[in-house]
Amino acid sequence: MNSGKIIFNTVSEVGLRMMLLLNILKPEKIDLDRINYFDYLMLYMNDEKIQINSLHPEYPMMLIELFTKKELLKESLLYVGSKSLISIECSHKGISYSANSNTEWFLDCLMDDKYAKELIKRAEVIKDKFNFYQNSELKILIENMIKNKEKNFENLFPYEDGGI
């Protein structure tokens, strides 16, 4: 039975994902661009060496998510911040986000969830492998990932004029 309720890519679902990420990165404070890059890697990173597969299916326009999800990320961070589940700090460097004691307390309630465990596993890999990257390097890394995956979708429109 379909109730018509959307549960994926909602403010609460993305906010929860951001809480998981920030909790792994604590006590670090990170900006929205870095959160955007790390979120993308959490969802789409494939690395056979460390046995991490993409949580979400690949599709031709994956790169667009980097641009279209930014507003949703902002809304989600403000939502969980308004509930005091993360810390939001404004400084001369801009706005940064970090986990706080409420983040960990709230997430402890979810530790038995399989999807949460998979997200945590990926967030830990991102912390270990990519946390030392500059934002510009993360952007290039993701662009290269997309270029390599585009080959999978070369025949998306097999007809010369793009239609039937």
- Asked whether residue 77 is domain-assigned, the answer is yes
Residues 45/111, Cβ–Cβ less than 8 Å: no
CA 85 remoteness from chain centre: 18
Q: Tell me: the pLDDT tens digits for 57-90?
A: 666 676 778 888 899 999 999 999 999 999 999 9
The answer to whether residue 18 is domain-embedded is yes
* Domains of the chain: total: 1
Whole-number pLDDT of residue 136: 94
Question: What contacts 120, CB < 8 A, 6 or more positions away?
Answer: 20, 24
The residue range of the domain holding 84 is 11-153
Residue 5 is assigned to a structural domain of this protein: no
Q: What is the pTM of this model?
A: 0.79
